[in-house]
Amino acid sequence: MTNKFDITRLPETARNFGVYIDGEMRPALSGNTTTRQSPAHDIAVTEIAKCAQDDVDIAVASARLAFDDRRWSGQSGGVRAGVLLKTAGLIRERLEEIAYWETLESGKPISQTKGEVAGCADMFEYASGLARSLHGDSHNNLGDGLFGIVTREPVGVVGLITPWNFPFLILCERVPYILASGCTIVAKPSEVTSATTILLAEMLSEAGLPKGVMNVVTGSGSTVGQALCAHESVDMISFTGSTAVGRNVIRASGDTNFKKLGLELGGKNPQIVFADADLLDAADGVAFGMCFNAGQCCVSGSRLLVERAVMSEFLALLKAKLEKTVVGDPLDAKTQIGAITTSAQNQTILSYIQKGQEEGAQLSFGCGAVKTDAGQFVGPVIFENVTPEMEIYKDEIFGPVLCVTPFDDVDEAIAMANDTKYGLAASVWSKDIEKVLRVSRRVQAGRFWVNTTLAGGPELPLGGFKQSGWGREAGKYGVEEYTQIKSVHIATETREHWIP
């Protein structure tokens, strides 16, 4: 039966969430909790368990036992697929509930969260097919005396650390693929957006996932995340967050058991607009790319590189689009830009807007903070005359702030696009297919969009070049990421003895 939620009304009291370990909800051992305030409404919406090292130890032990006794890894791909398919159905049934709590904790618009949750169900459906099709290889070319088999085996216990900007989406870009491979999980969501991760754990159990295969611990990154990264019984860490914190994950993992790592980190992503593009389409795409999720998006198009010949015309079209964006209450279906998720991030964005002006960039659109009765909101901002030495050009601001720089030819556009330590995503707008192919081949980015932006589906992999991370999520590569390869050599003839 579908769970109906009134997604237009605020909750009367904060909803309590415990941790999820070994198939059940329980409080943290200390009994401590933290209360999450809605960044859009300034009221308490959830109460989350505050875990410590001992909670992590119990969760990891549960996942370790569940992996080692093969209650999941020993099941057929068909059994795993059945659980993933049923979970997809449960996500669709509870779509409005999931979207509601995601919006309250994160501040993102309800129309956006509903779309993201629907896409998450697609992830589980796609991964169910991969659970059945995951396979290795064979080698019948080793001579009559030897036969070779290459198998893919689950890596083991995966520590999954997810951020606050896309709590459910990023979770679901990983969990179904991890489970399809046969691994077990200890998930650590951001302490400010934990609710939907626990809801997913409940749905997986309802769908038939064995106890201990999916566990959730909540709390701070410095305590719970660090404990997970350093734990000797965790075989792999999947981390999504900033490049700076990613370095800490590498250090913590390397200091113990040399865990396998999957890292999706920061980005300073270019949107390249050529004079031969459909400029109106491009203006809409650039506006979407910079404003989606209030710019709190690792693949946000935060740098605009525009051909000088059409720069004035294009910026006029872009500003006309941005003037129509709706900033406000994320529970209003018409809202396009919701609240900034944390006070710290709100302050960071505003400080970069101030810094850009101090560096000499021209603030040509917007002003920053939007005054409202409650919450913290930032409207779209455009900086022109931005040069490569400026911090706003180089740093990931993580807000709806666009830095504009002109170029004169294709080679200059490519050089400028690659002039960053990051390599997560890029977009190009042009009607010239030869130009598009040339740019797409030479720009260093793990995801590349042509005449669109922030598009995709569960079939295509996610990940970055350079300091934007290691490994790939989603697609068939997302299952393979959580496996190890084993070579098996089988003698097929009587052995010729080495010692007579």
Neighbours of 496 (CB within 10 A): 6
H-assigned helices in 231-322: 243-254, 279-291, 311-322
Catalytic residue among 172, 229, 298, 403: 298
Residue 343 phi, psi (nearest 5) = -60, -40
Q: Token match 């830009």: residue?
A: 337
> Which residue from 364, 269, 293, 314 is spatially nearest to 112, judged by alpha carbons?
293
DSSP 402: E
Q: Token match 């666009």: residue?
A: 402
298 flagged as catalytic: yes
Q: Tokens in use for 71?
A: 């209650």
Helix or strand run (H / E) with residue 26: strand 24-26
Q: Are 469 and 246 in contact (CB under 8 A)?
A: yes
Helix or strand run (H / E) with residue 176: helix 175-181
Residue 308 phi, psi (nearest 5) = -55, -35
Catalytic residue among 97, 105, 264, 473: 264
102 flagged as catalytic: no
Residues 6+ apart with CB under 8 A from 392: 352, 355, 356, 359, 361, 383, 386, 401, 403
Residues 6+ apart with CB under 8 A from 176: 84, 87, 123, 124, 126, 127, 128
d(CA 113, CA 469): 26
> Which residue from 386, 400, 265 is spatially nearest to 346, judged by alpha carbons?
400
Radius of gyration of the chain (CA): 24
Neighbouring-strand partners of residue 462: 473
d(CA 284, CA 322): 9
Assign 405 to helix, strand or coil: strand
Residues labelled as active-site residues: 264, 298
